[in-house]
Amino acid sequence: MPRLLITSLCLAAALWSAASAARTLVLVSIDGFRWDYLDWPQARQMKAIAEQGTRVTKLRTVYPSKTFPGHLSLATGLHPTGHGIVDNYFCRDYRPDCYSMGSGRKDPSWLEGTPLWTLVEQQGGRASTFFWPESDAAIDDTLPTDYRAYDGRVPHEARVDQAIEWLALPDAERPELVTLYFSAVDSAGHTFGPEAPETLAAITEVDKQVARLWKAIQRLNVRTGAEISLLLVSDHGMAEVDPDVFIDTNTLPRPRGFKRVNGSTRVTYYQRDPDADIDKLADSLTEMSDGRFWIVSDETLQSRHFFDHPAVGALVIETSPPRMFRRGGGKYADLRGMHGYPASIEDMAAFLVAVGPGFQSGKVIPEAHQLDLYPVAAELLNLKTPANIASDGGALRAALRKP
């Protein structure tokens, strides 16, 4: 009996030790937070946090640099043509319906790949998500243990409070992955411009909430021996656009047999009728472009990993800042900032900060890619990754603290 009791106690101690040493990652997205915002006075607390961990100065984006493609690439480790969400709104050649933001909740068939929260749940962990795009979609018939249907009216403070509540759970119940999402910086940047006072105010507000979250994480790590790390990231940057030079999509050809979809920085033509004359359409567009936009070549699309997918379309035209496509165009348009341009446009670069027991301190990585995040997060959480992800972690692997 004593020997059996001792064995049981040792086993219980080992299990408790394993549970208490389990790592947790808090993944926070600040939509539209451009790479250089971190050095602005309004983000001083986040910059101080970055100095305690690892900072990626410029996080390069997938194409197009849009909210849903970017967030799903961060979450799955796949290019948009890999996870299927190639824009905030798009169609597919073989489907009569089109995707719009959040469609995966009702119809997960739009989505491919294995998001981090699904990976955690499939491998026996607990994921708790708060508004990360498509985190409320039942991918592989799996949902996070905790999730929220998106409601932009929920205050930032309430989102952080919920995250802290999840993190404060006992060791055996604490989620391995917690996600948060803030859209205020992106919304202000679109409406007022990337350097407008309203955008600066949004940065200040998010900076305050992130600092509050980090202080709570530090307290929990000290008080409970938890190993909670924080990863701050954005999906894209923001470029200033000029309402006086918008391209009115009403002036673009819309021949029978094609469906035209405006993506703000590009316009896609889907060929619904296989007999529709695409060469004639291309000639018309070239003739009227006058340097304002251009047809994206197949070679360029391939270099952006944007090809061989039914959502890509038969023909894509694009423009560059300060121009964008807008229905009706005109001087009175209410948008002063836009993203979605190729990664070669410097203002599209995002940011990343990794801090906590899982990451190196005082390190700066000049450049990494959004697709590097997935394998690095999976390694931190000791998860086995799918074979088809696009990166092995690249430059971001240097952020991991060696055991």
Angle between helix 197-224 and helix 44-52 axes, rounded to 10 deg: 40
Whole-number average pLDDT of the chain: 93
Q: Is the peptide bond before 310 cis (omega within 30 degrees of 0)?
A: no
- Residues of the domain holding 145: 23-239+343-399
CA 109 vs CA 105, 134, 138, 241: distances in Å: 10, 12, 9, 35
Residue 9 in this model has a pLDDT that exceeds 50: no
pLDDT at residue 330 in the model: 60
Q: Residues 186, 41: one domain?
A: yes
Q: Residues 108, 169: one domain?
A: yes
Domain edge (last residue) among 334, 365, 389: 334
What are the pLDDT digits (tens) for 291-302? 999 999 999 999
> Among residues 98, 25, 104, which one has the least CA distance to residue 71?
104
User: Does residue 377 lie within any of the structural domains?
Assistant: yes
Q: Residues 119, 208: one domain?
A: yes
pLDDT at residue 243 in the model: 86
Q: Which of 19-23, 70-74, 107-111, 144-148 has the lowest mean pLDDT?
A: 19-23
State mean pLDDT over 58-78.
98
Q: Residues 123, 190: one domain?
A: yes
Angle at the Cα of 11 from the Cα atoms of 7 and 17, rounded to 5 degrees:
145
Instruction: Assess contact for 180 and 155: CB atoms under 8 A.
Output: no
> Among residues 396, 246, 219, which one has the least CA distance to residue 326?
246
- Paired strand residues for 294: 318
Q: What percent of the chain has pLDDT over 70?
A: 93
User: Does residue 183 lie within any of the structural domains?
Assistant: yes
Q: Residues 159, 140: one domain?
A: yes
Please tell me which residue, 332 or 327, carries the higher pLDDT value: 327
Residue ranges of the alpha helices (H) in 294-366? 298-303
pLDDT at residue 328 in the model: 84
Domain edge (last residue) among 315, 334, 353: 334
List of E strands, 76-168? 89-91, 98-100, 127-130
User: Does residue 374 lie within any of the structural domains?
Assistant: yes
Q: Residues 230, 296: one domain?
A: no
Instruction: Assess contact for 343 and 368: CB atoms under 8 A.
Output: no
Residue 5: which pLDDT band, with cuts at 50, 70 and 90? very low
> Among residues 170, 183, 189, 214, which one has the least CA distance to residue 357?
214
Q: Is the peptide bond before 322 cis (omega within 30 degrees of 0)?
A: yes
User: Does residue 248 lie within any of the structural domains?
Assistant: yes
Residue 16 in this model has a pLDDT that exceeds 50: no
User: Does residue 293 lie within any of the structural domains?
Assistant: yes
| Residue 9 CA, distance from chain mean position | 45
What are the pLDDT digits (tens) for 72-86? 999 999 999 999 999
| Radius of gyration of the chain from its Cα atoms, rounded to whole angstroms | 23
State mean pLDDT over 3-21.
40
Q: Residues 40, 189: one domain?
A: yes
pLDDT at residue 223 in the model: 95
CA 311 vs CA 98, 246, 339, 371: distances in Å: 10, 25, 20, 20
pTM listed for this prediction = 0.93
Residue 379 in this model has a pLDDT that exceeds 50: yes
pLDDT at residue 18 in the model: 37
pLDDT at residue 94 in the model: 85
State mean pLDDT over 29-51.
98
Residue 93: which pLDDT band, with cuts at 50, 70 and 90? confident
Residue 1: which pLDDT band, with cuts at 50, 70 and 90? very low
Q: Residues 135, 263: one domain?
A: no
Q: Residues 220, 366: one domain?
A: yes
Q: Cα separation of 48 and 148, whole Å? A: 30
Q: Residues 200, 253: one domain?
A: no
Residue 402: which pLDDT band, with cuts at 50, 70 and 90? confident
Residue ranges of the alpha helices (H) in 77-196? 80-83, 116-122, 156-167, 184-192
Backbone angles phi, psi at 137, to 5 degrees: -95, 135
Residue 8 in this model has a pLDDT that exceeds 70: no
Q: Residues 133, 190: one domain?
A: yes
Q: What percent of the chain has pLDDT over 90?
A: 90
Residue ranges of the alpha helices (H) in 168-259? 184-192, 197-224
Residue 331: which pLDDT band, with cuts at 50, 70 and 90? low
Q: Residues 327, 304: one domain?
A: yes
User: Does residue 301 lie within any of the structural domains?
Assistant: yes
What are the pLDDT digits (tens) for 120-151? 999 999 999 999 999 999 999 999 999 998 99
